[in-house]
Amino acid sequence: MRIAFLTAPEGVEQIELTDPWQAARSAGHEPVLVSTEPGRIQAFEHLDKADTFPVDEVVGEASADSFGGLVLPGGVANPDVLRMDEKAVAFVQDFFERGLPVAAICHAPWTLIEADVVRGRVLTSWPSLRTDIRNAGGTWVDEQVKVCDHGNNKLVTSRKPDDLKAFCESYLDVFAEEAA
């Protein structure tokens, strides 16, 4: 299965990109880095620059129907930039409209809020997003991983890098289940 990993040109938390990416690859999936600009993205380790990664597809040219699921890595700046990009927001909305599974960790639910897809859903995130999620009509819980089956697709969310092992296991299980 092809899995889209959507990031801004800079600001993604490196481990929240690389751990789920490697988990997907190890499970036999094809991770695809989708960004708002071509070239390379700049990852961060908290506030410090880390590695760069090549962009595989540009969001304005990519379509959800060519993927089996979407992963939204966190980092504070990453979702803040994505939620201001109309094409990125439309890309996220398209996954929900098509009933494809989506996984988001840490601050990534900011992009989900902008896409107006959290209403009626139960999810978790970095704790500072709690009020934003509630204001957008979602229910926030403080859990390592939350799988929400609402509407025609499943949403997997997680709080922080310490939850990555559980996040990766859960999102891969959900994506495999949805593909079957």
Q: Which residues contact 7 (CB under 8 A, 6 or more apart)?
A: 17, 33, 34, 35, 41, 73, 78, 82
Catalytic residue among 29, 46, 107, 150: 107
Beta pairing partners, 139: 122
46 carries an active-site annotation: no
Residues marked active site are found at: 107
